[in-house]
Amino acid sequence: MGERFDVIVIGGGPGGSTVASFLQKMGRKVLLLEREQFPRHHIGESMIAASLDVLAEIGLEEKLAAADFPVKSGGCFFWGESRLPWCIRFDEIPGRPTSYQVKRSVFDKILLDHCESLGVDVRQRHRVTEVLLGDGRVTGVRFEGPDGAVHEAEAAYTVDASGLNAVVANKLSRRLPVEELKNIALYGYWQGEHPAPAKLGGEIRPTDRNNILAKMLDDGWLWFIPLGNGLISVGFVAPQVNVADKGGKAGLEEHYLEKVRSTPEWEYLLGNSEYTGEFHTIKDWSYRSDVMAGPGYFAVGDAACFVDPILSSGAYLAILYAKMAAIGINTLIDEPSREALVQEWYQGLYLDTYTDYLEMARFWYHDIRRVDAWFDKAHDKLDEEEGSEFVDTDRASFIGLATGNAHAHPNYVLLRQLDSFPLPIHLRKDPRGHYMKEARVALFGRARGDDAAPEEFRDEAERSARMMAASPRRRRMILDALRDDAVEVVTRLSDVGGVSSPTGRLAVSDEARFSLEPIDDIVTMIVRAPNGERRVLSLDEERLVAAVPQHPAGSLAAETGLDQEHVDEFSAELLAAGVFVSADS
């Protein structure tokens, strides 16, 4: 019998350290196993802004600020129809206006040390040698310490944050590569003070001195990342087939230096710098695991997926979904019967974010290299998601993705989800859309008084219906689906999954409580619903509530002068909360 923990985390990089830190703060007993001794080298040095918002939640804000990393405020690109560079800046949209360029050996050690300071049992130079299984689920791991001794540990859940090795994910699922993005990154380090990039022209300003620069070439692209103290990371990304004949590592290094030194802008930027001789290569394929969470385990970071680094999304995906995995695991330790639901939520959300960045990377390599078209592509991705805060302009959408804010803003995952379930109620994106059919069958079956819904679907369908009823986006989806079924009336969902005839009357529940309260010096109507929800009513909504007892539900829009869709959605919401109830005609 090995040691017993709530959670075992394999890997101490940003994903592993973040998930362990969240779980430890949630009161769980966590073991983290890292095969190397930190500090250690890693690529992925340009952080995007929303990463810092997540790390601030586990108390890292001051420690990162004290590390004196160069402050990053955006990025500049040599790409598109003009030879001149164009730039984006994080402060153009709501959210954190800056991030950092980091030397990963320093950054990762700060995260791992912080994780240990919170109480996580961190063991470096401990290598996982076997994933333990029981009845088809991961139950723990066997691992080897620095002295060669073999140990076992058991846990309710294991997190695979082991990077490209994907110790658990590769054993229990398949890696699905993106065929057209099988690239390789050749990169090295230069030492010296680089000149002001503003002299390169275009939209570059003096304030862009610490920002990432990227330039598209005929056969790949270059990056330039200032890391502070005169150290500069310079990389070349190319299709792997293009460099397959370069003759091993020495040949690849020669090819890399030729690309850097023959690019005028990079020759200028590195004119006062010396190549250090430190050279690395890494397979840069875009891929995902077909199962990101399964019985007894979750995968985060590169163990779950990897996207071409053009928008610097690597560490961000690891950090954001480490938080998501912690939310899911914290729920499941107390409520194990919800495993399939929570893991479906996790994978659906992860795939959605991964796909957004994948499509942006694909467009970077696309033959139609127009900046406005790339911005438009970003807008299309976010406009599909109802309620996004970053769809006012195409440019805002692009920056929303480039900062990470589009997927990490409060409407996407609220802080209170760290302690509560059901999670999908408050999520802007919900992968459980396939339940809609069963939900409609169950509801219409009940409305008609027949047995249209198979009994085994009914509980899950009604739960799904309640969750979908709690979000404007999902309510719209339901209403559209009902209209597609040629239902001529608007069906409203109640908090028990039933329906209320819109031809009759609605009433205000005797259990609903209304009060006037000052909010920001404005006296506002508050309703406390029978199910415990508290809502601030707008003036239009106050008028609608007042009209309910006097008018049939079907005539509320006309009688109040409000938009029909607004009336439908608001009525459905108050029905779901129990504020409105059915009344006889």
pLDDT band of residue 504 (cuts 50, 70, 90) is low
Output DSSP code: residue 450. S
Express each pLDDT in 530-578 by its tens digit: 877 777 777 777 777 888 877 777 777 777 777 777 777 777 777 777 7
Give yes or no for residue 438 having a pLDDT over 50.
no
- Measured CA to CA, the distance from residue 303 to residue 297 in angstroms comes to 12
Output DSSP code: residue 345. H
pLDDT at position 524 is 60
pLDDT band of residue 385 (cuts 50, 70, 90) is low
CB 343 within 8 A of CB 321: no
Express each pLDDT in 401-412 by its tens digit: 999 988 875 444
Give yes or no for residue 44 having a pLDDT over 60.
yes
Express each pLDDT in 69-126 by its tens digit: 999 999 999 999 888 999 999 999 888 899 999 999 999 999 999 999 999 999 999 9
Give yes or no for residue 500 having a pLDDT over 60.
no
pLDDT at position 390 is 74
* Least confident interval from 25-39, 307-321, 436-450: 436-450
The CATH number of the domain covering residues in 3-67+102-175+289-353+400-408: 3.50.50.60
pLDDT at position 384 is 58
- Measured CA to CA, the distance from residue 527 to residue 556 in angstroms comes to 19
Centre a 10 Å sphere on the Cβ of residue 455 and count the other Cβ atoms it contains: 8
pLDDT at position 573 is 74
Q: Is the dihedral of CA 161, 164, 165, 170 positive or negative?
A: positive
Mean pLDDT of the chain: 81
Express each pLDDT in 454-483 by its tens digit: 444 444 444 444 444 444 444 445 444 433
pLDDT band of residue 340 (cuts 50, 70, 90) is confident
The CATH number of the domain covering residues in 183-283: 3.30.9.100
pLDDT at position 288 is 93
Question: What does the DSSP assignment read for 112-163?
Answer: HHHHHHTT-EEEES-EEEEEEEETTEEEEEEEE-TTS-EEEEEEEEEEE--G
pLDDT at position 435 is 38
CB 463 within 8 A of CB 424: no
Give yes or no for residue 521 having a pLDDT over 50.
no
| pLDDT cut 90: percent of the chain above it | 54
CB 579 within 8 A of CB 571: no
pLDDT band of residue 208 (cuts 50, 70, 90) is very high
pLDDT at position 104 is 97
- Measured CA to CA, the distance from residue 153 to residue 31 in angstroms comes to 9
Domain range summary for the chain, segments of one domain joined by +: 3-67+102-175+289-353+400-408, 183-283, 432-583
pLDDT at position 388 is 58
- Measured CA to CA, the distance from residue 439 to residue 436 in angstroms comes to 5
424 vs 342, more confident: 342
Backbone φ, ψ for residue 286 (5° rounding): -90, 135
